[in-house]
Amino acid sequence: MFIISDSENDCGGYSDFMIGKTKKRLVIFLLVPVVMLAGILLIKLPGWDLLLHNVSDDHILKIHSPLNERIIIPIIKEFQESTGIPVEYTSAGTLDLLNALEDKGDRYLMDILWGGSKEYLNIYNDLFEPIYQGGEEEYILGYNQLPIVLIYNRKLVSSDEVCRSWSEILDSKWKGRIAMANPEGSGSAYIALSFLLEMDMKDDYNWDNAAKLLRNVEGKMLAKSSEVYEGVAAGDFAIGITMEEAAINLIHQDEDIGIVYLEEGTPVINDSIALLKDAKNKEEAMAFIEFVLSRKVQTYMVDRFYLRSVREDVKVPKGLSSMNSLNIFDTSNLSTFENRETILNKWLQMTTDIEKSGPMK
């Protein structure tokens, strides 16, 4: 009796255990797909594919340029449409770009630096790839020329009254009436300052001129070059030192603006283009350089933006006289580009001194 019942119990217990185990397995087999399904549904929500989506950077020509987007956009648009080469451009001030060049080290930043004065870029020659142009090896190619001129608002100043020379600008009668950009940020303003510093230079730079200029602008310099010609056109200032291109644009927009090529000489910024040594898209970059220097684009720039071409076979912009008739000052003679830092430091010192001494008498 006992033996039988015991064995029965054992059997029952064992089979129960088996059933329990298979049930557990069944539950797990059922649960796992359900949980997975729910997970998949959640993951399939929108947004994931967007995160996974990546655009490859291959063969996009990278151009850094301090030029106005007004100029950059149509030229790049035309370049892309006629060559099919995709372009990505970085627009920034000259000094920001120079700082970027300075800090870049071995990093790849761009294929082409488009714009910026040749004198500035010369300092970074070792970063650039030489380009053979007409048999000559050149690091930096000029693609347009920007003379520095004095502009005046005809409504505020008559053409008889306006100053004709650099030394007249320093006359105290222009105190508070002259607009000038900060040489720290503006290439044109720096060249103007450089010209004044080297004018009548003896042993040292002519800091007296700088002081007079600072007195005339009352220690206040405009942040951007554009503020100079816009300020003069709007009548905020009577005269201003800026680029010829800006002035002629205003004149063609029927603003009452006059241009003066100053007697002592007209410094010219040679806007340049340079191919980077570590360019990833050299072929595309060369195509762009050729495009920019082509007769078609050069003529378009003359016609559309009144920029002076570097090409002999392209005529002078409408309303401007030829370079030969101007008293051009060769800016490559200026020593101020190598000493930029010390000059700017001293300039900054003078500016803060004036601010400390309060309003000038």
Partner 1 sequence: MSRIRIPIFHRLFITYILCSILPLIIIGGLIYGFSMNFLNRTLDEQTMNSIKTFHEGLHVRVSAYEDMIIKIQNGLKSSDSLNLQNGMPDDSNDVYEILYDAMSGESIKPVVHVSNLDGSRVFTTSVFPESYKAGLMNKWGIFREVDNLVMGSVIFPQETDYFPEGRTILSVGSRIYDRTGTHSGYVVVEMPRQVVFEEARVFNSGLSIHMVMLDENGYTLFDSINSEMEGKFQHAVYMDREKIRNHKPIDRLIGNDTFLYLDYRDKRLNTVTKVNVSSNTFHAFNRILTLIIVIGSMISLLVSVVLAALQARSISSPIRKLIKVMGDVEKGDLEIRADLGSRDEIGDLGKYFNQMLNRLNIYMEKVIEKQKQLRTTEIKMLQAQIKPHFIYNTLDVIKWSVKLGHQEETISVVTNLARLLRFSIDSAEEFLTIRSNIEFINSYLAIQRIKYNNSFEVLTDIDDSLMDYKIPRLILQPFIENSIIHGFGKTNRNDGIIKITGQFIHCASSEVEGNCRAIEFRISDNGIGMTEQEIEELTFERPENHIGIYNVDKRIKMYFGEDFGVSINSKTQGTEVLITMPSTIEGDLL
Secondary structure (3-state) at 350: helix
State in angstroms the smallest separation of the CB of 206 from partner 1: 33
Q: Which is nearer to partner 1, 93 or 176 (CB)?
A: 93
Q: How far is the CB of 353 from partner 1 (least distance, A)?
A: 29
Q: Which residues contact 97 (CB under 8 A, 6 or more apart)?
A: 64, 65, 66, 113, 116
Nearest to 328 by CA among 253, 240, 261: 261
Least CB distance from residue 244 to partner 1, whole Å?
Answer: 18
Residue that is written with structure tokens 């700017």 in the block: 344
Kindly list the residues in this chain that would bind partner 1 in the complex (CB under 8 A): 34-35, 37-38, 40-42, 44-47, 50, 69, 73-74, 76-78, 80-82, 86-93, 96-97, 100, 252, 296-297, 299-300, 303-304
Distance CA 13, CA 2 (A): 16
Name the minimum Å distance from CB 61 to partner 1: 11
Residue 128: CB atoms within 10 A of its CB come to: 22
* Residue-wise DSSP of 90-107: EE--HHHHHHHHHHHTT-
Q: Judged by CB, which is closer to partner 1: 166, or 229?
A: 229
**How is residue 89 written in tokens?**
């451009």
Please identify, using beta-carbon distances, which residue of 96 and 218 lies nearer to partner 1. 96
Please say which residue, 304 or 346, places its beta carbon nearer to partner 1. 304
144 or 216: whose CB is closer to partner 1? 144
Closest contact distance (angstroms) between CB of 304 and partner 1 is 4
Q: How far is the CB of 53 from partner 1 (least distance, A)?
A: 9
How many alpha carbons lie under 13 Å from residue 25 in its C-beta half-sphere?
Answer: 6
78 or 138: CB nearest partner 1: 78
The bridge status of strand 239-243 relative to strand 140-153 is antiparallel
Q: Residue 242's beta-bridge partner residues?
A: 149
